[in-house]
Amino acid sequence: MMMTKFPEPDTLDNSPKLEIFNPSEYTLPFTKDDALSLLELIEKEESVQYHSVEIIFTDEKWIIEINSKYLNRDYVTDIISFRMDDDDSNQSIEGVLYCCAPRIAEQSAEYDSNPESEFLRVIVHGLLHLIGYNDQTESDKSEMTAKEDHYLKSLSS
């Protein structure tokens, strides 16, 4: 008896490409539409495809726990990015961005920047990490900052 092979389920389901969760209960100074527009702009210009990205806004205690548990670092940071897929082609990226809302707000004050811009900059930063950009050297940091500036400027155009 021959078995019939059924088609694989459609991977392009109706689940949202971008989800934002805010257990920190910090008031977020941007819209989900702006975050999604940035994601789509990065997809287009970097020739990548995000399948599923979750952005989770945390408090300082939670970001320290994540930083300590997964990266062996014991301090507050603005964002930690985790790539969840194994797709080397960058055509079905899945990831989670843990963002520390109070830290991002502090950075906004430190840099005398608009809170909305600072939150969106951190999101762009995390999305760039998911596609392989790093910021371990001064050269890498400069490249990422230039890309962040470009995408934020493109959003406001």
Query: Within a domain: residue 48?
Result: yes
Range of the domain at 131: 18-156
Q: For the chain, what is the mean pLDDT?
A: 91
Which CATH number belongs to the domain containing residue 146 in this structure? 3.40.390.30
Looking at the domain assignment, is residue 105 inside a domain? yes
How far is it, in rounded angstroms, from Cα 104 to Cα 61?
Answer: 14
- Structural domain count, the chain: 1
Q: How many CB atoms lie within 10 A of CB 104?
A: 22
Quick one: pLDDT at residue 13?
56
Q: Report how far Cα 147 is from the mean position of its chain's Cα atoms.
A: 14
Give tens-digit pLDDT for 22-62: 999 899 999 999 999 999 999 999 999 999 999 999 999 99
User: 82-103, pLDDT tens digit by residue?
Assistant: 999 998 999 999 999 999 999 9
Residue 73 confidence class, pLDDT cut points 50, 70, 90 = very high
Buried b (16+ CB within 10 A) or exposed e, 105-142: bebbeeeeeebebbbbbbbbbbbbbbbebeeeeeeeee
Residue 86 lies in a domain: yes
